[in-house]
């Protein structure tokens, strides 16, 4: 097992130190900005109090930053503290194991963004907001493992397009999240790099996959939002089982350039958030044409900067929605069918209550999905990964490429030969069984998938549908399973789908409602989702990861005056009148600088000690409920 847990703790400790140092640097910089001559020294800044972050989404964080009630440094520190408190075993809980690596530069970046905000300079709509990314997104400043211990030190030289756009918008990449190794498993998240991710609503249960790390981390408020990838249920599944909004956009609307692939025929990048508004905001940042990803040409079919503007609590009025109802048999190994069905029935009734027309769609049958909406993916997994390694400028783990031929190229077979993979041998055999591309079987599968895409497009038109509604998962999470039921609908056809919180079973398991819309109707799907969300407001934060306990420092006692009066001071020299430009004329001679600077220095040291004390006190781990 790699040293990820210890790295997490060391980075958290480094973060606490950086927070104090960053405060000193910012204040010193502000003081120096009055150079060459200092006329006055402002009081040392008071460290922002540790904010409560459970239930905060991106919009909430932005509102607090804009109001000045918190800072990006304070928020980032709080999120790092939560990772340190809840990701490893604590109290009677096994811990989430949702994070592979906390960004050691997160606090320094937050301090820089705070300084820019104070100066009235904002990089973009996410300025100062911490965001999580799944560990298959390339990051130039942190390794990208795709969940593989063999890639522990695999370091790309550039960001993926999605991460590049997040940074340009002002986001702080706070951590990289655990994932099913190479994004393969869709029912649980297990990697050789971090182990198994647990569900914060019941830490004995699966967090689903393959983006279970992002799902668990966002649900547990390690950040207000995060990014996942989806090849068949890997965004919507973890979101459903952890009461989040998981958005799988129209395939090609968001770039997958720089993301370690599973299958280029299926992969998409998308947001996992606490609210639809936050998903829409992230989509405005992520969506759009990318020359590095030819599939993104489809983004030109829609306006990608108006998703938030288009949200409406009347969006469902007059919409025609087909309810996909299949008969399922109760499986003792996967409980919750009856309760999940009842909750989804109620969710569809809520859609109707908001003005939608609900119609049955018996023609959207198992046979239609399995024989018409076919997948062209999976056959290209090994080839896709090898191509990524070959075309990505990166530093490879020492000696890894030499394990199999050719010795001068890093390949999927090298990773497997390293003997650390958590993938089952049957899966490995499957991935390595396909001949080199192009080949006839693959071309046939691609043609069948393209025919299925056309059939899906016609289905919406022929049945005059604005959306389809269905359970994201027909049953609830168990110890080793938390999957999806209709992932083929979005993954095989490329139409946009979303999972929305639909309530909880009597055991506290989260349930999701999935909506699918016509290709490139992302704005309409987000608007309908918002209307449903605002009418129901089902999401409740998990009890196992509550707010951290914040202990205020002991106040300094006020000195009591003595009965004996102090000696009268010597007469002070006359204070010169301020100069016409408003500056103090003492500054012109340099007189009077030493005392104010000395006092400021003492204040900074004292402030740093207090921040350090508060940080130490905050690190006490509360017992989960």
Task: Tell me: pLDDT of 221 over 70.
Answer: yes
* Predicted local confidence at residue 554, as pLDDT: 63
Q: What is the C-alpha separation between 160 and 157, in angstroms, rounded?
A: 10
Q: Which residue has the tokens 């040293």?
A: 3
CA dihedral 571, 572, 574, 579 (to 10 degrees): -170
Confidence of residue 619 (pLDDT cuts 50, 70, 90): very low
Q: Answer yes or no: 134 catalytic.
A: yes
DSSP assigned state of 131 = E
Catalytic position from the list 210, 211, 231, 269: 210
Q: In this predicted structure, what is the pLDDT of residue 335? A: 87
What is d(CA 448, CA 285) in angstroms, rounded to the nearest whole number?
33
E strand spans, 303-413: 320-323, 357-360, 394-395
129-133, 199-203, 375-379, 395-399: which has the minimum mean pLDDT?
A: 375-379
pLDDT score of 123 more than 50? yes
Average pLDDT value over all residues in the chain? 85
pLDDT of 605 over the 70 cut? no
Q: Backbone phi, then psi, for 256, in 5-degree steps?
A: -110, 15
279-304 pLDDT, tens digit per residue, is: 999 999 999 999 999 999 999 999 99
For the chain, percent of residues with pLDDT exceeding 70 = 81
Mean pLDDT of 104-119: 98
Q: What percent of the chain has pLDDT over 90?
A: 77
* CA 284 – CA 279 distance, rounded (Å): 9
Q: How does pLDDT run across 531-542, given as a tens digit for each residue? A: 999 999 999 999
- Is there a contact between 507 and 476 (Cβ–Cβ < 8 Å)? yes
What pLDDT shows up at residue 555? 66
Q: How many residues does the chain have?
A: 625
Which residue in 234, 255, 383, 473 is the catalytic one? 234
Q: What is the pLDDT of residue 368?
A: 97
Alpha-carbon distance 624 to 541, whole Å? 13
Write down the H helix ranges in 49-160: 58-67, 72-86, 106-118
pLDDT at 93: 98
Distance, in Å, from the CA atom of 307 to the CA atom of 275, rounded to the nearest integer, reads 13
Is residue 49 very low, low, confident or very high in pLDDT (cuts 50, 70, 90)?
confident
Read off the pLDDT of each residue in 95-120 and give the average, rounded to a whole number: 98
Q: In this model, does residue 26 exceed pLDDT 70?
A: no
Residue 606, pLDDT > 60, answer: no
Weakest-pLDDT range from 15-24, 70-79, 549-558: 15-24
The predicted structure's pLDDT at residue 598? 35
3-state SS string for 258-301 = CECCCCCCCCEEEEEECCHHHHHHHHHHHECCECCEHHHHHHHH
Q: What pLDDT, on the 0 to 100 scale, is given for residue 92?
A: 97
Is the bond preceding residue 438 a cis peptide, omega within 30 degrees? yes
Complete domains list, the chain, with CATH: 58-536 (3.90.1300.10)
One of 39, 72, 134, 383 is an active-site residue; which one? 134
The model's pTM: 0.83
Say how far apart CA 256 and CA 246 lie, in whole Å. 17
Query: Mean pLDDT throughout 482-497?
Result: 97
520 is catalytic: no
Beta-carbon contacts of 237 under 8 Å, excluding residues fewer than 6 positions away, are: 186, 187, 208, 209, 211, 246, 472, 473, 482, 483, 484, 487, 499
Q: Give the mean model confidence (pLDDT) for residues 55-79.
A: 98
**SS3 label, residue 92:** coil
Task: Say whether 191 is catalytic.
Answer: no
Contact indicator for 214, 239 with CB cutoff of 8 Å: no
* CA-wise closest residue to 477 among 212, 207, 247: 207
Q: Residue 2 corresponds to which tokens in the numbers above?
A: 């790699």
User: What is d(CA 64, CA 72) in angstroms, rounded to the nearest whole number?
Assistant: 10
The two structure tokens encoding residue 559: 């000195």
Residues 6+ apart with CB under 8 A from 61: 75, 128, 129, 130, 224
| pLDDT in the model for residue 553 | 63
- Checking if the pLDDT of 171 tops 90, the result is yes
pLDDT of residue 556: 62
What value does the mean pLDDT take over residues 404-410? 97
In our burial notation (b when 16+ CB lie closer than 10 A, e otherwise), range 549-572 reads: eeeeeeeeeeeeeeeeeeeeeeee
Q: Which residues are paired to 190 by β-bridges?
A: 196
Residue 212 near residue 206 (C-beta atoms within 8 A): yes
pLDDT value, residue 550: 84
The candidate with the shortest Cα–Cα distance to 524, out of 266, 315, 239, 254, is 315
* Cβ neighbourhood burial of 83 (10 Å; 0-12, 13-18, 19+): buried
* Spatial contact of 99 and 176, defined as CB atoms under 8 Å apart: yes
Confidence of residue 559 (pLDDT cuts 50, 70, 90): low
The tens digit of pLDDT for each residue in 341-398 reads: 999 999 999 999 999 999 999 999 999 999 999 998 889 999 999 999 999 999 999 9
CA angle, corner 225, sides to 215 and 271, nearest 5?
75
Partners of 372 in beta bridges: none
Q: Identify the three-state secondary structure at position 172.
A: strand
> Above 60 in pLDDT, residue 187?
yes
Cα 557 to Cα 345: distance, rounded to the nearest angstrom: 62
Average pLDDT score over residue span 261-271: 96
pLDDT, tens digit, for every residue of 453-474?
A: 999 999 999 999 999 999 999 9
């Amino acid at each position: 097992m790699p040293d990820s847990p210890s790295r997490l703790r060391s980075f958290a400790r480094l973060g606490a130190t950086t927070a104090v140092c960053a405060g000193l640097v910012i204040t010193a910089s502000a003081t120096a900005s009055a150079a060459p001559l200092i006329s006055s020294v402002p009081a040392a800044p008071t460290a922002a109090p540790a904010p409560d972050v459970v239930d905060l989404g991106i919009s909430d964080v932005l509102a607090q930053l804009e109001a000045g009630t918190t800072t990006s440094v304070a928020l980032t520190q709080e999120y790092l503290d939560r990772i340190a408190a809840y990701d490893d075993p604590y109290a009677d809980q096994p811990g989430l194991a949702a994070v592979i690596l906390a960004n050691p530069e997160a606090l320094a970046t937050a301090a820089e963004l705070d300084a820019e905000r104070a100066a009235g300079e904002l990089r973009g709509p996410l300025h100062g907001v911490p965001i999580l990314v799944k560990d298959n997104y390339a990051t130039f400043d942190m390794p990208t493992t795709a969940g593989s211990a063999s890639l522990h030190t695999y370091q790309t030289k550039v960001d993926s397009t999605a991460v590049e756009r997040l940074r340009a918008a002002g986001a702080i990449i706070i951590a990289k999240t655990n994932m099913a190794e190479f994004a393969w498993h869709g029912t649980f998240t297990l990697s050789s790099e971090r182990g198994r991710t647990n569900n914060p609503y019941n830490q004995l249960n699966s967090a689903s996959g393959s983006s279970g790390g992002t799902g668990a981390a966002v649900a547990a408020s390690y950040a207000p939002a995060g990014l996942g990838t989806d090849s068949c249920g890997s965004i919507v599944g973890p979101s459903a089982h952890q009461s989040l909004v998981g958005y799988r956009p129209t395939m090609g609307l968001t770039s997958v350039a720089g993301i370690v692939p599973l299958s280029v025929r299926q992969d998409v990048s998308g947001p996992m958030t606490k609210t639809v508004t936050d998903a829409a905001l992230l989509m405005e940042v992520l969506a759009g044409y990318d020359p590095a990803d030819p599939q993104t040409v489809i983004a030109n079919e829609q306006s990608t900067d108006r998703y938030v503007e288009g949200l409406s609590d009347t969006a469902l009025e007059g919409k025609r929605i087909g309810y996909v109802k299949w008969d399922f048999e109760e499986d003792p190994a996967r409980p919750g069918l009856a309760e999940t069905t009842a909750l989804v029935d109620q969710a569809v009734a809520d859609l109707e209550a908001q003005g939608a027309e609900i119609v049955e769609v018996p023609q959207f049958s198992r046979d239609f999905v399995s024989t018409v909406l076919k997948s062209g993916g999976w056959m290209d997994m090994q080839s896709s990964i090898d191509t990524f390694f070959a075309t990505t400028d990166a530093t490879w783990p020492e000696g890894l490429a030499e394990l199999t031929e050719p010795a001068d190229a890093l390949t999927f077979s090298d990773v497997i030969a390293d003997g650390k993979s958590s993938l089952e041998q049957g899966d490995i055999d499957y991935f390595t069984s396909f001949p080199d591309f192009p080949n006839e079987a693959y071309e046939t599968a691609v043609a069948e998938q393209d025919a299925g895409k056309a059939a899906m497009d016609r289905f919406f038109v022929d049945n005059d549908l604005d959306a389809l509604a269905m359970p994201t998962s027909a049953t609830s999470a168990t110890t080793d399973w938390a999957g999806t039921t209709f992932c083929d609908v979005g993954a095989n056809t490329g139409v946009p789908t979303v999972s929305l919180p639909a309530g909880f079973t009597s055991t506290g398991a989260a349930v999701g409602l999935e909506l699918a819309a016509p290709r490139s109707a992302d704005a309409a799907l987000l608007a309908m989702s918002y209307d449903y969300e605002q009418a129901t407001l089902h999401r409740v934060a998990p009890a196992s990861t509550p707010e951290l306990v914040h202990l205020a420092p002991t106040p300094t006692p006020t000195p009591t005056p003595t009965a004996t009066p102090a000696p009268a001071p010597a007469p002070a020299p006359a204070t010169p009148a301020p100069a016409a430009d408003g500056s103090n004329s003492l500054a012109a001679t340099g007189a009077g600088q030493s005392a104010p600077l000395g006092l400021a220095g003492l204040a900074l040291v004292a402030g740093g000690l207090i921040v350090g004390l508060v940080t130490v006190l905050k690190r006490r781990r509360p017992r989960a409920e």
